Chains A and B, each alone.
Chain A
């Protein structure tokens, strides 16, 4: 096995793939930070979401400058080790950029539910569920060999549509919260993020293929 270090900001293919996957995270955290900052006088624990968004933004941007690993001539045994490494890496990235912001929204919603009802609490719960199920689905897909993946295609498709429904429901609760509690920035965040995820759900594979075709010519 030959292992090379790849700097995403020096390798266009890695850069655009990473940009494509981290764009919704960066956008969500920017919008949530702006929204909470605007209404911070009206909430309990606003710092929780402000800090978690800042951490998520910092880590998402830092990963453009941290080298990744590229491996060639891989045997089956080495592939298993590499997959475990990538799962660990994915967990390491997901924790500050996805799990902690979602958990913060859940806790934030819980502490503010007396005044603002349960919409933010539900949005946080659904967002956390979305990230957990997405992570376990991608881990399962990594550990499953391609032939059994095809055999269980119905299960994977079901999971894919289910997490799409969950994320849309989460953002719908953000929109409800914004409309019912007269905080229009929450409504805007919900609308922008729903649009982003609808776009990603229907066009992501097309754009990933396009990026790969562009840089590899296949």
Chain B
């Protein structure tokens, strides 16, 4: 009886943890982090003509950015937009954005204060008309950590603790004594 109750409770908790996240996934569909970062993000990517790099992050007030193109003939524009405008941008429709840098530049760095605490999309695009590619180095720092940063490690630890707790509880239950299954 005890083993049944323990199994049901732990099953319920495990399923609850997983489905809570799935429900959250549905409920907050419009706000998501594209990639998790601890203090920011830096990377080197190949930027062909017309291509862009996109970082989605929660920002309280400040973004510190820097970028540089290996090809001196390429100029990249960095800008910032909210989720709605980024959706329009992705679909090639009209959008509005805040410039991070002063127009297209080969390299730039600076600090930008957002007017509202929210998820923001930072985009670097090679849309100049010289039709050349470049290796693009960028780094971004944010004044806060992503709120999702703590959720996954906590869930991973909870999962491990849940499994250990289950095994511990199972070991407290005495194995059933052998019964005659097929009596002669």
Contacts and interface: CB of A to CB of B under 8 A. Distances in A.
Nearest to B86: A217
Interface residues of B, number: 48
A38 B18 contact: no
Specify the main secondary structure of chain A where it touches its partner: helix
Contacts of B170: 33-34, 37-38
Interface string A18-53: 010001001100110110011111100000000000
B149 A10 contact: yes
A9 B175 contact: no
B43 A2 contact: yes
B163 A26 contact: yes
Contacts of A39: 175-176
Contact of A215 (B18, B32, B178): B32
A151 interface: no
A11 interface: yes
Interface in A166-218: 181-182, 185, 188, 192, 207, 210-211, 213-217
Interface in B16-42: 18, 21-22, 25-26, 28-29, 32-36, 38
Interface residues of A, number: 45
Contacts of B159: 19, 26, 61, 64
A12 interface: yes
A21 to B, nearest CB: 12
Interface of B: 3, 7, 10-11, 14, 18, 21-22, 25-26, 28-29, 32-36, 38, 43-46, 56, 83, 86-87, 148-149, 151-153, 155-156, 159-160, 163, 166-167, 170-171, 173, 175-179, 181-182
5 contacts: A16-B21, A19-B18, A41-B178, A61-B163, A73-B46
Q: List the 4 closest pairs (A to B, CB-CB), nearest first.
A: A9-B156, A15-B152, A42-B178, A64-B156
Given A34-B166, A41-B176, 12 more contacts: A2-B43, A9-B156, A12-B152, A23-B18, A27-B11, A30-B166, A33-B167, A38-B170, A57-B163, A116-B181, A210-B22, A211-B25
